[in-house]
Amino acid sequence: MRLQACRTLVLSLAWAVLALGAAALAQPIEEFGKFNHRLLEVKRGQLGQVLGVEQRTVEQLLDIDRRYQPQRQQLTQAMKNEFRQLQQLISQPAPPEQEIMAILSRMKSHRREMLDLQQRKADEEMALLTPVQQARYLMYMMNLVKEARSIRRGPGGMGPWEPAPPREIPVSRPAAPGGQ
Protein backbone atom coordinates (compact mmCIF):
# COMPACT_ATOMS: atom_id res chain seq x y z
CA MET A 1 0.00 0.00 0.00
CA ARG A 2 2.81 2.41 0.92
CA LEU A 3 4.64 1.55 -2.31
CA GLN A 4 1.52 2.42 -4.29
CA ALA A 5 1.22 5.76 -2.47
CA CYS A 6 4.88 6.53 -3.26
CA ARG A 7 4.37 5.64 -6.92
CA THR A 8 1.30 7.84 -7.07
CA LEU A 9 3.22 10.67 -5.43
CA VAL A 10 6.14 10.36 -7.87
CA LEU A 11 3.87 10.12 -10.90
CA SER A 12 1.82 13.09 -9.69
CA LEU A 13 4.98 15.11 -9.17
CA ALA A 14 6.19 14.23 -12.67
CA TRP A 15 2.80 15.26 -14.08
CA ALA A 16 2.97 18.56 -12.19
CA VAL A 17 6.42 19.35 -13.54
CA LEU A 18 5.33 18.64 -17.11
CA ALA A 19 2.05 20.50 -16.76
CA LEU A 20 3.72 23.60 -15.40
CA GLY A 21 6.78 23.61 -17.62
CA ALA A 22 5.41 26.35 -19.83
CA ALA A 23 4.10 28.36 -16.91
CA ALA A 24 7.45 28.19 -15.13
CA LEU A 25 9.14 29.73 -18.15
CA ALA A 26 6.73 32.67 -18.34
CA GLN A 27 7.98 36.22 -18.03
CA PRO A 28 7.37 38.51 -15.07
CA ILE A 29 3.95 40.20 -15.10
CA GLU A 30 5.21 43.65 -16.23
CA GLU A 31 7.13 42.19 -19.16
CA PHE A 32 4.20 39.93 -19.98
CA GLY A 33 1.92 42.98 -20.21
CA LYS A 34 4.20 44.74 -22.69
CA PHE A 35 4.76 41.59 -24.70
CA ASN A 36 1.04 40.77 -24.73
CA HIS A 37 0.16 44.30 -25.87
CA ARG A 38 2.61 44.00 -28.77
CA LEU A 39 1.21 40.57 -29.64
CA LEU A 40 -2.30 42.03 -29.66
CA GLU A 41 -1.23 44.76 -32.10
CA VAL A 42 0.43 42.21 -34.39
CA LYS A 43 -2.73 40.11 -34.40
CA ARG A 44 -4.87 43.18 -35.05
CA GLY A 45 -2.76 44.05 -38.07
CA GLN A 46 -2.49 40.56 -39.57
CA LEU A 47 -5.58 38.51 -38.75
CA GLY A 48 -7.95 40.14 -41.25
CA GLN A 49 -5.69 39.46 -44.20
CA VAL A 50 -4.63 35.99 -43.06
CA LEU A 51 -8.18 34.80 -42.39
CA GLY A 52 -9.93 36.78 -45.10
CA VAL A 53 -12.30 38.43 -42.61
CA GLU A 54 -13.43 41.99 -41.97
CA GLN A 55 -11.81 44.08 -39.24
CA ARG A 56 -15.02 43.76 -37.20
CA THR A 57 -14.46 39.99 -36.97
CA VAL A 58 -10.82 40.57 -36.01
CA GLU A 59 -11.95 42.87 -33.20
CA GLN A 60 -14.45 40.24 -32.03
CA LEU A 61 -11.65 37.65 -31.89
CA LEU A 62 -9.43 40.06 -29.96
CA ASP A 63 -12.29 40.86 -27.56
CA ILE A 64 -12.70 37.16 -26.83
CA ASP A 65 -8.98 36.93 -26.10
CA ARG A 66 -9.14 39.99 -23.80
CA ARG A 67 -12.10 38.54 -21.88
CA TYR A 68 -10.29 35.29 -21.12
CA GLN A 69 -6.85 36.76 -20.45
CA PRO A 70 -7.37 37.72 -16.76
CA GLN A 71 -8.61 34.24 -15.91
CA ARG A 72 -5.67 32.65 -17.74
CA GLN A 73 -3.19 34.87 -15.90
CA GLN A 74 -4.85 34.14 -12.56
CA LEU A 75 -4.73 30.37 -13.11
CA THR A 76 -1.14 30.52 -14.35
CA GLN A 77 -0.08 32.50 -11.28
CA ALA A 78 -1.88 30.08 -8.97
CA MET A 79 -0.14 27.12 -10.61
CA LYS A 80 3.25 28.84 -10.33
CA ASN A 81 2.67 29.52 -6.64
CA GLU A 82 1.64 25.91 -6.03
CA PHE A 83 4.69 24.69 -7.90
CA ARG A 84 6.94 26.83 -5.68
CA GLN A 85 5.21 25.44 -2.58
CA LEU A 86 5.71 21.94 -3.91
CA GLN A 87 9.40 22.60 -4.51
CA GLN A 88 9.81 23.85 -0.94
CA LEU A 89 8.00 20.88 0.55
CA ILE A 90 9.77 18.27 -1.53
CA SER A 91 13.17 19.68 -0.58
CA GLN A 92 12.52 18.96 3.10
CA PRO A 93 14.23 15.89 4.58
CA ALA A 94 10.83 14.32 5.30
CA PRO A 95 8.30 15.89 2.93
CA PRO A 96 4.75 15.95 4.37
CA GLU A 97 2.81 13.65 2.05
CA GLN A 98 -0.63 15.02 2.98
CA GLU A 99 0.36 18.60 2.12
CA ILE A 100 2.00 17.45 -1.09
CA MET A 101 -1.09 15.49 -2.08
CA ALA A 102 -3.27 18.54 -1.37
CA ILE A 103 -1.07 20.76 -3.54
CA LEU A 104 -1.01 18.19 -6.35
CA SER A 105 -4.79 17.97 -6.17
CA ARG A 106 -5.10 21.76 -6.47
CA MET A 107 -2.64 21.75 -9.36
CA LYS A 108 -4.69 19.13 -11.20
CA SER A 109 -7.83 21.10 -10.55
CA HIS A 110 -6.26 24.30 -11.89
CA ARG A 111 -4.97 22.42 -14.94
CA ARG A 112 -8.51 21.17 -15.65
CA GLU A 113 -9.83 24.72 -15.21
CA MET A 114 -7.20 26.00 -17.65
CA LEU A 115 -8.11 23.37 -20.24
CA ASP A 116 -11.80 24.16 -19.81
CA LEU A 117 -11.09 27.87 -20.17
CA GLN A 118 -9.05 27.28 -23.32
CA GLN A 119 -11.82 25.13 -24.79
CA ARG A 120 -14.53 27.73 -24.08
CA LYS A 121 -12.36 30.44 -25.66
CA ALA A 122 -11.68 28.29 -28.73
CA ASP A 123 -15.38 27.47 -29.10
CA GLU A 124 -16.27 31.18 -29.05
CA GLU A 125 -13.55 32.00 -31.58
CA MET A 126 -14.46 29.15 -33.91
CA ALA A 127 -18.14 30.15 -33.88
CA LEU A 128 -17.12 33.34 -35.73
CA LEU A 129 -15.21 31.54 -38.50
CA THR A 130 -15.86 29.16 -41.37
CA PRO A 131 -14.02 25.79 -41.33
CA VAL A 132 -11.37 27.13 -43.75
CA GLN A 133 -10.91 30.25 -41.62
CA GLN A 134 -10.68 28.07 -38.51
CA ALA A 135 -7.85 26.07 -40.10
CA ARG A 136 -6.07 29.27 -41.14
CA TYR A 137 -6.52 30.70 -37.65
CA LEU A 138 -5.08 27.56 -36.08
CA MET A 139 -2.04 27.62 -38.39
CA TYR A 140 -1.57 31.36 -37.84
CA MET A 141 -1.68 31.00 -34.06
CA MET A 142 0.78 28.10 -34.09
CA ASN A 143 3.25 30.16 -36.14
CA LEU A 144 2.69 33.22 -33.96
CA VAL A 145 3.40 31.23 -30.79
CA LYS A 146 6.57 29.83 -32.36
CA GLU A 147 7.73 33.34 -33.29
CA ALA A 148 6.80 34.72 -29.89
CA ARG A 149 8.86 32.05 -28.15
CA SER A 150 11.88 32.82 -30.31
CA ILE A 151 11.51 36.54 -29.56
CA ARG A 152 11.24 35.88 -25.82
CA ARG A 153 14.58 34.05 -25.93
CA GLY A 154 16.07 37.50 -26.35
CA PRO A 155 18.86 38.98 -28.45
CA GLY A 156 21.52 36.67 -29.72
CA GLY A 157 18.98 33.92 -30.35
CA MET A 158 19.92 31.50 -27.63
CA GLY A 159 18.88 28.69 -29.92
CA PRO A 160 16.65 25.83 -28.97
CA TRP A 161 15.82 25.46 -25.34
CA GLU A 162 17.88 22.84 -23.61
CA PRO A 163 16.38 21.35 -20.47
CA ALA A 164 18.60 21.44 -17.41
CA PRO A 165 19.87 18.08 -16.23
CA PRO A 166 17.68 16.52 -13.55
CA ARG A 167 18.54 17.55 -10.03
CA GLU A 168 18.91 15.02 -7.30
CA ILE A 169 16.04 15.17 -4.84
CA PRO A 170 16.94 14.12 -1.31
CA VAL A 171 14.93 11.15 -0.13
CA SER A 172 14.49 10.29 3.50
CA ARG A 173 13.47 6.80 4.45
CA PRO A 174 12.19 5.86 7.88
CA ALA A 175 14.62 3.76 9.87
CA ALA A 176 13.92 0.06 9.66
CA PRO A 177 12.95 -1.74 12.86
CA GLY A 178 16.03 -2.87 14.72
CA GLY A 179 18.11 0.17 13.66
CA GLN A 180 19.06 -1.06 10.17
Q: Is the distance from CB of 86 to CB of 13 less than 8 angstroms?
A: yes
Res. 11 pLDDT band, cuts 50 70 90:
very low
Res. 23 pLDDT band, cuts 50 70 90:
very low
> Is residue 29 in a domain?
yes
Q: Is the distance from CB of 21 to CB of 40 less than 8 angstroms?
A: no
Question: Distance (Å, rounded) from C-alpha 13 to C-alpha 89?
Answer: 12
Percent of the chain topping pLDDT 90: 46
Q: What is the pLDDT of residue 180?
A: 53
> Is residue 176 in a domain?
no
Which residues form the domain of 40? 8-150
> Is residue 75 in a domain?
yes
> Is residue 174 in a domain?
no
> Is residue 179 in a domain?
no
- From the CB of residue 103, how many other CB atoms can be counted at a distance below 10 Å? 21
pLDDT, one tens digit per residue, over 46-69 is 888 888 999 999 999 999 999 999
pLDDT, one tens digit per residue, over 139-151 is 998 888 888 777 7
> Is residue 121 in a domain?
yes
> Is residue 165 in a domain?
no
Question: Distance (Å, rounded) from C-alpha 131 to C-alpha 125?
Answer: 12
Cβ contacts of 98 within 8 Å, gap of 6 or more: none
- The region of weakest confidence among 21-35, 67-81, 106-120 is 21-35
> Is residue 141 in a domain?
yes
pLDDT, one tens digit per residue, over 82-124 is 999 999 999 999 999 999 999 999 999 999 999 999 999 999 9
Looking at the structure of the chain, the number of domains it has is 1
